A and B are shown apart, each in its own frame.
Chain A
């Protein structure tokens, strides 16, 4: 299904990625590859307790160790005070940001950075950490969101009072913020309902799990300038954060974004960069710090665990009439969970006349949470989409028909107020319903087929499995779920210079996480009418490209692509002027079509882009197109997923048999990369759904801070993820682009929960749906 323009020459094709050879040959340079003369190695001393006062710190013995060159603590960072700054993608409390880099007087989670050492080798730096004497005064801790909300819970911050849109509550609490949305009259709405379902859900803390750990190398030059090489989603936000934390002007800092091995929202906030810079300032030498996996788990931002209560009602015809939700998200040690978007997404897939949503941002003694792919939306969708499935069951309505009937569409007013423009929610449900996956028989489990040739229709939801010689055999189920994510616009810059051989060198400011170099280059190529591989894209550092916001919010192909498009228009205007000069006509008499310039008054006068490029030096010099944009017109993204599972009732193990992700992508610039984003999002959603979680012991310590024990899915766990691109063009973008990277992580947990229900007849209400939790549900049912 497509409503987007199809007459493109470059857009919609699948050229080889420009950075492909470097990536597959291992020549691409990542932050840990940075080497230079005199390089020192830094390591971080981390808190062994989840909550406590820092009474004293003595680094004298560490400094006596030969080869150790410096130790830094919070005293080496500027005390920013209790100030909030807009740094790139959002507001940041600088006191919290600074304390998260190096604790100031108190530790709020196990793993929080307390001090850092620079030494001539990483091993020596590690040894030196053991020589730093720190005296802690332990305090009671709390790691569960609901426990943290109770009166009498240990308070993480002496000065934290609940903020309720500026209304002073005066009450000290772990609840940092209360938000609320209302639409219609929810009490009256529920009175119209024939079926009302109310359920409670819990989701665990999970990590983005990017393969490349955080790293930073800093060189504080003798002239007071600082250069930082790091793995980041946004060089400019690193620059802004470091400037604030070190108290030096932006112009003194250059941030060089290295290739990045995944971010997903977790590489926006700084952790190591200001610390490496402070160590470099003290030593006068370059300092590199890299995290290990335990550091990444324990000291960088995962996504919040949550408690969500959802109540939804539909009338006898299956029309949603009312919905109510309460969301409590763990912010971690400092306020700032993705509560807002979670609350705004929870019912966004549907047109519901009466809605009431309350949300609470709650601090707990865990690492400060960060964004993770559609932050907040996956938790929320797990709850609402599971309740929708239960409504469909009671109403005996096909779940995709229910979504087609109730789905949000152009003109639907969201629960938080604004009205949707042209969107593709209903189209994703329609496409899923017509897909061969959804219409295919679910298929019996082979063993069950032996037992019972007339395998029961999937969805009976009541049978715990067939018995063969006393052993229950696995059962299969199919589930569906939908999801929404807003996507973002924000600011991007690009410049492009025309080379004499007809190619164009493009410099853009978005670090490339998912193939965006190529999707941006393709938009420039399309605008100029040249081939994608005639554009040579590069990601600039903060001194070589204009301000560009982070690679996040599914915004890069939309906004940086828009900047490239505008840079292309700038080049076209200048090329037309050059052709007019050559032909002795006014620019209005020159047409630019498909990469060819044509004189309107003499059809014999034509120059291809390449031919004119050769003449630029003789007609005034090279041409540089440039653009800096902050575009409106962001198009939200919807997805509907279908999944088949097989569940072993003896072990509770869930095996994903088949997965199909249908998504409104606006216009797929490079379909392979769009498909890759969808597949990656689904896989992360499956991991979140079935296995991943931070497991804490009673001492508030994470007990599974390694990839051995933090179970992420591998290729062996998964089938090929089938993708279906629905193209409902975004009218707000020159090429119809919508962000695609985040929404695919939203539906999987709910889709899997609904499939497990169809297989076993038990409703899962807690993530992850690990074998133990599935078994607990089964045993409770028995």
Chain B
């Protein structure tokens, strides 16, 4: 199961928990699994069914390019961070 790092501003929904280990083959499935444990997470991360604008998912240190379809392995580490735009 992948280890998801809960963004600090989302921890009001997780009782302060910093990480959660949840099942899922891709980011969308991981968020669904998080939603089961912590209702409200999905709406905050994916309003309208897609990742919140300006938010990026990082899987194993790499910026995800497929959004919710980004695959995650059983030992993956997943972060949700502000998207980077360079100059």
Contacts and interface: CB of A to CB of B under 8 A. Distances in A.
B5 interface: yes
B81 interface: yes
A180 interface: yes
B8 A552 contact: no
A340 B82 contact: yes
Contacts of B77: 418-419
A164 B58 CA distance: 19
Interface in B1-52: 5, 7-10, 12, 18, 43-45, 47, 52
B48 to A, nearest CB: 10
A84 B53 contact: yes
B58 to A, nearest CB: 5
A690 B52 CA distance: 39
Given A166-B45, A180-B9, A419-B77, A340 B83 contact: yes
B79 A417 contact: yes
A284 interface: no
Contacts of A420: 61
A200 B77 CA distance: 35
B9 A167 contact: yes
A742 interface: yes
A372 B44 contact: no
B47 A180 contact: no
A344 B58 CA distance: 13
Contacts of A488: 84-86
B84 A373 contact: no
Nearest to B43: A166
Residue in A84, A86, A166, A370 with the greatest tally of chain B CB atoms within 10 Å: A166
A109 interface: no
A341 B53 contact: no
Contacts of B8: 180-182
A64 to B, nearest CB: 44
Contacts of A374: 86-87
A367 interface: no
A634 B86 contact: no
Interface string B66-87: 0000000000010101111111
A42 interface: no
A252 B6 CA distance: 43
A167 B11 CA distance: 11
B25 to A, nearest CB: 18
Residue in A263, A343, A488 with the greatest tally of chain B CB atoms within 10 Å: A488
A263 B85 CA distance: 14
Nearest to B62: A632
B81 A417 contact: yes
A375 interface: yes
Contacts of A164: 9
Given A167-B9, A182-B8, A417-B79, A338 B52 contact: no
A259 B77 CA distance: 42
B77 to A, nearest CB: 7
Interface string A297-321: 0000000000000000000000000
Nearest to A166: B44
Contacts of B5: 417
Contacts of A372: 87
B3 to A, nearest CB: 11
Interface string A336-373: 00111101100000000000000000000000001111
A221 to B, nearest CB: 33
Contact of A179 (B9, B47, B86): B9
Interface string A80-110: 0000101001110000000000000000000
A723 to B, nearest CB: 20
A552 B85 contact: yes
B11 to A, nearest CB: 9
Interface string A163-180: 011110000000000111
Given A86-B53, A165-B9, A166-B52, A418 B61 contact: yes
A416 B87 contact: no
Contacts of B83: 90-91, 340
Residue in B47, B63, B85, B86 with the greatest tally of chain A CB atoms within 10 Å: B86
A47 to B, nearest CB: 26
Given A167-B9, A418-B77, A552 B44 contact: no
Nearest to A345: B84
Given A165-B9, A167-B9, A418-B79, A265 B87 contact: yes
Contacts of B84: 340-341, 344, 486, 488, 553
A486 B9 contact: no
Nearest to B61: A418
Contacts of A771: none
A527 interface: no
Contact of A265 (B10, B58, B86): B86
B65 A632 contact: yes
Interface string A665-705: 00000000000000000000000000000000000000000
A552 B86 CA distance: 5
A780 to B, nearest CB: 35
Contact of A553 (B10, B45, B62, B85): B85
A167 B44 contact: yes
Contact of B53 (A91, A485, A554): A91
Interface string A737-756: 00100100000000000000
Contact of B86 (A89, A167, A180): A89
B86 A416 contact: no
A375 B79 contact: no
A91 B85 CA distance: 10
Contacts of A266: 87
Contact of B87 (A86, A180, A552): A552
Contacts of B47: 166
A264 interface: yes
Contacts of A632: 62-63, 65
A489 interface: yes
A398 interface: no
A393 interface: no
A543 interface: no
A647 B45 CA distance: 51
A611 interface: no
A167 B45 CA distance: 10
A630 B65 contact: yes
A165 B86 contact: no
Given A179-B9, A180-B8, A553 B54 contact: no
Given A91-B54, A166-B47, A632-B65, A373 B87 contact: yes
Interface in A179-197: 179-182
A412 B18 CA distance: 18
A263 B87 CA distance: 8
A633 interface: yes
Given A374-B86, A486-B84, A165 B65 contact: no
Contacts of B18: 182
A323 to B, nearest CB: 15
Given A208-B87, A344-B84, A632-B62, 17 more contacts: A89-B86, A90-B85, A164-B9, A165-B9, A178-B9, A179-B9, A180-B9, A182-B8, A340-B83, A374-B87, A375-B86, A419-B77, A552-B85, A553-B87, A632-B65, A634-B62, A742-B86
- The 8 residue pairs across chains A and B that have the minimum distance between CB atoms: A553-B86, A265-B87, A340-B82, A166-B44, A91-B53, A371-B87, A165-B9, A90-B85
15 contacts: A165-B44, A167-B44, A180-B7, A264-B87, A340-B54, A341-B85, A373-B87, A375-B85, A375-B86, A375-B87, A417-B58, A418-B79, A552-B85, A552-B87, A554-B86
